[in-house]
Amino acid sequence: MASAQSPGQTAGDLPRIVDLWGGLGSVSVDPVVLARNLVITAARTDPAHGAFDVLRSRLLQALAEKGWRRVGITSPTKGCGKTFTAINLAIALSRYDNCRTILMDMDLRNPSLAGYLGLKVDRTMGDFLREEIPAEAILRKVGPNDLRIGANLALGLNHRAEAYAAELFQEDRTARVLERMEKDLRPDVILHDLPPALAQDDVIAFRPHMDCVLLVAGGGLTTPREMKETVRRIGEDKPVVGVILNKADGVSIAEYAY
């Protein structure tokens, strides 16, 4: 006998009828910690925050033109500023009332998003991707704050590193849970803070889950050869929507393809 469904319940792969966004839990952030960790878009005192406003507008334009929403953020090697870019861009986006953004910590071998925001979490992204816990267990909004971080941003936080990130990304189940998250929460933009592209094959394994890529080059770190190899690995069918030159002299958008 078929049983009746209560709101919010999932039946197999059917999307839930209710919009779960409003029910997501929230966390509070400390402005001092954010400032210390270079979340420059929060207080807006660092002039570089303007670069993220420009990046935000250009990205939204490109996504709207192409009908995309899933953006991977990567760099050739670690330490170039992927997480820095991801957080600052996400906060800039959160100030648009009519745009829902989800930022996912997908650098599974080196989770750092929660730490950047000074947050302690006890949920694991790997468990979400393995379908063991629902999206709402790892997603958190930022509660009322003086920094104008909007309620239109949800952060997918992770506290435990995964040794088998590439294998996990390749599972059909991973595609399924990410698709379900999109259906249930209806984000306009999903930013995936990815691992470095040249370190392992994690970014190659993640390709099916993104529409396009933002590339972060680390000033004084990244060589032209590494950038070329990164673009080659990402592949032509996942276009690079923008290149951010970070740490050179603040932050600048070096190239914008769309």
Ligand X SMILES: Nc1ncnc2c1ncn2[C@@H]1O[C@H](COP(=O)(O)OP(=O)(O)O)[C@@H](O)[C@H]1O
Residues that bind ligand X (CB under 6 A): 38, 75, 78-84, 112, 246-247, 251
* Contacts of residue 200, Cβ cutoff 8 Å, sequence gap at least 6: 109, 165, 166
Do the bridges between strand 240-246 and strand 251-256 make them parallel or antiparallel, or are there none, so unpaired? Answer: antiparallel
109-148 mask for Mg ion (x: CB under 5 A)?
---x------------------------------------
Q: How far is the CB of 172 from ligand X (least distance, A)?
A: 28
Q: Do the beta carbons of residue 219 and residue 246 sit within 8 Å?
A: yes
Kindly tell me which of 24 and 43 has the beta carbon lying closer to ligand X. Answer: 43
Pick from ligand X, Mg ion, none: which does 135 bind, CB < 5 to 8 A by kind? none
CB of 209 to ligand X, least distance (A): 18
Across 132-195, the runs of DSSP E, i.e. the strands, are 139-142, 153-156, 189-193
Q: Binding partner of residue 80 among Mg ion, ligand X, none, CB under 5 to 8 Å per kind? A: ligand X
Complex with Mg ion: residue 112 or 230, whichever CB lies closer: 112
Contact call for residue 82 and Mg ion (CB under 5 A): yes
- Report how far residue 205's alpha carbon sits from residue 203's, in angstroms, rounded to the nearest whole number: 5
Q: In what order do the strands lie in the sheet with 70-74?
A: 26-27, 139-142, 153-156, 101-105, 189-193, 70-74, 212-218, 240-246, 251-256
Q: Which is nearer to ligand X, 3 or 45 (CB)?
A: 45
Rounded Cα–Cα distance for residues 210 and 184 (Å) = 18
Q: Which does 235 bind (CB under 5 to 8 A by kind): Mg ion, ligand X, none?
A: none
Residue count, binding to Mg ion (CB under 5 A): 4
**Token reading at 124:** 């694991």
Binding segment (CB under 5 A) for Mg ion, from list 54-62, 83-91, 92-100, 156-164: 83-91
Taking CB within 5 to 8 Å according to partner kind, which of Mg ion, ligand X, none is near residue 124? Answer: none
Integer Cα distance of 114 and 94 in angstroms: 17
CB closer to ligand X, 101 vs 112: 112
Residue 243: beta bridge partners? 215, 255
Two tokens at 20?
A: 């779960």
